[in-house]
Structure 1
């Protein structure tokens, strides 16, 4: 369970970083 939670947390952080970069490169794109 702990490994799954850690992996999920890492994936979530990667997704957040990706969205942050996407928003920086595409300021008109807002969810």
Structure 2
């Protein structure tokens, strides 16, 4: 259970980080 919980948490953090980076990239105007 501990391992699965850790994996789930790691996945969530990874997804959140990726989404944040994508959002920032979208916000920044690209020329």
Q: Same fold (TM over 0.5)?
A: yes
Report the RMSD for the aligned CA atoms in angstroms.
0.5
Q: Structure 2 length as normaliser, TM-score?
A: 0.79
Structure with more relative contact order (C-alpha pairs < 8 Å, separation 6 or more)? 1
- Unmatched 5+ stretches in structure 1: none
Paired positions, count: 27
Structure 2 residue runs without a partner (length 5+): none
| Structure with a larger share of its residues in helix | 2
TM-score w.r.t. length of structure 1: 0.79
